[in-house]
Amino acid sequence: MQKSREDRQAAAPEYHVDRQVGFFLRQANQRHVAIFANAIGDKLTTTQWSALSKLKEIQPCSQNQLGRETAMDVATIKGVVDRLVKRGFVATAPDRNDGRRVVLSLTEDGLAVIAVNVGAAVSATEETLAPLTSGERMMFLELLQKIC
Amino acid sequence: MQKSREDRQAAAPEYHVDRQVGFFLRQANQRHVAIFANAIGDKLTTTQWSALSKLKEIQPCSQNQLGRETAMDVATIKGVVDRLVKRGFVATAPDRNDGRRVVLSLTEDGLAVIAVNVGAAVSATEETLAPLTSGERMMFLELLQKIC
DNA sequence: TGATACTCATTCGCATACAAACGAAAAAAT
DNA sequence: ATTTTTTCGTTTGTATGCGAATGAGTATCA
């Protein structure tokens, strides 16, 4: 049997994009974002939800700090916060000690929108992991964390 | 010991964004994108690389078909293809049989840039999975595919 | 044949995402 | 006390990513 031209010399394994981690990571993320958008009623994105939820834990805090806690770039977190402020979920105030800082906190509407949507967020997580068994989920989350 | 106000009634487990799949998926994807950008010399993004690699496999094909094969929206694949055309990696031609279609194919530069960078792409995959053992990688990829 | 449905490509609006550069302010080092 | 470095917020530019709408071409079926 004739060997293919590829195999004759170096026997280099063929490269297939659709078998690489990056390809799957992008798709898995896309799927989750879609599921989340569908589950949530208030038109909140996954990043906005991350910012809101984290802010609830650590408020009051500066904009950049919130960005670091949610793994967002300074330019990214600014856009996210701007939109949340515009919608009245987040309030800003100048810091007395530091002239550069903008202190962020949740408004009542912000707290309310979190309370209303936690259930949907949990459901979104659930639906994303639905193809996996309970044991697989534990394993998957563990491995996923390792490559973050 | 006093029970917290939360636990007293419903015993609802606390919600932490930074323990949800979505949070990790976004971060893992970000990390891989950064690794890839760093490994590749020709300023190709992960999506551009996907489009190029897939096009090499299935060319000639229409723009929408390439989008489907690479899991990209019609609007997204258009932008990606536009940039690849502008850089001379992809050529377009009208389809004789179908007046709507635009037939895509790789140029010589396109083939060359793939050949030059396959090694870097493989390295990027390798580096992304570096925190995992060989066995863990197999397991991880299997589970990751299931939630795509 | 003619109406209907589908497909393809394009465009608009919105929301990440990051690099890079900037001025202002604070902290650390000398 | 002055210099250096770091941090904070902002803006610009480039590149995804999706929903929705549009127009043009094709296919289907009554």
How far is residue A148's CA from residue B32's CA, in Å, rounded to a whole number?
A: 9
Give the residues across from B102 on adjacent strands.
Answer: B94
Q: Do A31 and B132 touch (CB under 8 A)?
A: no
* Strand D atom within 7 Å of A47 CB: no
- Please give the protein residue whose CA is closest to the C1' of the nucleotide D16: B76
Angle in degrees, 0-180, between the axes of helices A21-39 and B46-58, rounded to the nearest 10: 110
**Domain hosting residue B73, numbered range:** 45-146
SS3 category, B30: helix
What pLDDT band is residue B112 in, cutting at 50, 70 and 90?
very high
Q: Is residue B70 part of a domain?
A: yes
Of all residues in chain B, what percent carry a pLDDT higher than 70? 92
Q: How many whole angstroms from its chain centre is CA A145?
A: 13
Closest CA to B119 of A4, A13, A6, A22: A13
Q: Do A53 and B118 touch (CB under 8 A)?
A: no
Count Cβ atoms within 10 A of the Cβ of residue A30 and give its class: 0-12 exposed, 13-18 middle, 19 or more buried: middle
**A98-CA/C26-C1' distance, Å:** 7
Q: How many CB atoms lie within 10 A of CB A87?
A: 16
Residue B76: both structure tokens together: 């997204």
Residue B121: both structure tokens together: 């792409």
Query: Tokens 């060989």 correspond to what residue?
Result: B134
Q: Is residue B33 part of a domain?
A: no
Min Cα separation B144/chain A (Å): 7
- Dump pLDDT digits (tens) for B47-56: 999 999 999 9
* Strand D atom within 7 Å of A83 CB: no
* Strand C atom within 7 Å of B78 CB: yes
Torsion sign across C-alpha atoms A124, A127, A132, A134 = positive
**A97-CA/C24-C1' distance, Å:** 14
How far is residue A104's CA from residue A63's CA, in Å, rounded to a whole number?
A: 7
How far is residue A85's CA from residue A102's CA, in Å, rounded to a whole number?
A: 12
Q: Is residue B51 part of a domain?
A: yes
Angle in degrees, 0-180, between the axes of helices A134-146 and B21-39, rounded to the nearest 10: 40
Least confident span in A49-53, A90-94, B4-8, B34-38: B4-8
Of A118, A122, A148, the CB nearest to B24: A148
Q: Which chain B residue is nearest to residue A16, measuring alpha carbons?
A: B53
* Strand D atom within 7 Å of A74 CB: yes
Least confident span in A12-16, B32-36, B130-134: A12-16
Q: Is residue B49 part of a domain?
A: yes
- Do β-strands A61-62 and B61-62 pair in parallel, antiparallel, or remain unpaired? unpaired
Q: Is residue B13 part of a domain?
A: no
Query: Quick one: DSSP state of residue A68?
Result: H
Does the structure show a pLDDT above 90 at B9? Answer: no
* Strand D atom within 7 Å of A26 CB: yes
Residue A13 has a pLDDT of: 76
Q: Is residue A68 part of a domain?
A: yes
Of B28, B50, B121, the CB nearest to A144: B28
Q: Is residue B89 part of a domain?
A: yes
Q: How many CB atoms lie within 10 A of CB B64?
A: 15
Of B27, B33, B128, the CB nearest to A71: B27
Q: Is residue B64 part of a domain?
A: yes
Query: Quick one: DSSP state of residue B93?
Result: E
Give the CA distances from residue A68 to residues A7, A19, A51, A75, A148, in Å, rounded to whole numbers and listed in that order.
48, 31, 10, 12, 14
Closest CA to B28 of A71, A67, A92: A71
Count Cβ atoms within 10 A of the Cβ of residue B91 and give its class: 0-12 exposed, 13-18 middle, 19 or more buried: middle
Across the range B38-44, mean pLDDT stands at: 92
Query: What domain count does chain B have?
Result: 1
Q: Which amino acid is at A54?
A: K
* Strand D atom within 7 Å of B25 CB: no
Closest CA to A109 of A86, A92, A82, A90: A90
Q: Do A33 and B24 touch (CB under 8 A)?
A: no
How far is residue A24's CA from residue B144's CA, in Å, rounded to a whole number?
A: 7
Q: Which residues of chain A have pLDDT under 50?
A: 1, 3, 5-7
Residue B7 has a pLDDT of: 47
Distance spanning both ends of chain A, measured CA to CA: 45
Residue B13 has a pLDDT of: 77
Question: The domain spanning residue A141 has which CATH number?
Answer: 1.10.10.10
Does the structure show a pLDDT above 80 at B77? Answer: yes
Min Cα separation B132/chain A (Å): 7
Across the range B59-81, mean pLDDT stands at: 96
